[in-house]
Amino acid sequence: MIRTARDILKDKGGHMVTINSDSTIYQALTIMTQNKVGSIVVLEEEKIIGIWTERDLMFRAMEEGFNPKTARLKDNMSVNIISANIEEQAYQLADKFLGRRVRHLLIEEGGEYIGLLSVGDVMKANLQQKNEEFEKLNQMVSLEYYENWKEIQSQR
């Protein structure tokens, strides 16, 4: 079965971990750690305005005077949101991750963000899809298939 972003979100669950833009980076990291996620979606008045990721922390931590307990997300988050359509296939999502060099994609449907996928979510879906294809091919070339084929051919 060819998996789409919809399928992956359905398997994973559409829950997005969110935080208000006025929160500190320390608060965001606390929530991310509690939820065991590598990113958090930043909201302002219930509208998604950015994303904060573990990669953002890595780059900010090197800046002189950076303090996660006082630094606000709204001043440090990524605002160039990269998204994918709910109908995009897993291999298209993988291409987007590689081409854009990102690890998280917001998924949109009808102009609204409805979920978030990580590169790991998409990698897992692609591996499952390839495994299913392999199993089908393996069945096709199995001895039983060959024996059945021989029998069918002899009946013709």
Q: What is the pLDDT of residue 126?
A: 87
Q: What is the pLDDT of residue 145?
A: 67
Strands of 83-85's sheet in order across: 83-85, 104-109, 112-118
Q: Residue 100, Cβ neighbours under 10 Å: how many?
A: 12
The count of domains in the chain is 1
Assign residue 47 the CATH number of its domain. 3.10.580.10
* Of residues 147, 155, 83, the one with CA closest to residue 115: 83
Which stretches in the chain have pLDDT values below 70? 14, 142-143, 145-146, 149-150
In degrees, rounded to 5, the angle at the alpha carbon of residue 116 between the alpha carbons of residues 76 and 105 is 65
Q: What is the pLDDT of residue 104?
A: 93
Instruction: List the beta bridge partners of residue 84.
Output: 107
Predicted model pTM: 0.77
Q: What is the pLDDT of residue 143?
A: 65
Domain that holds residue 112: 5-155
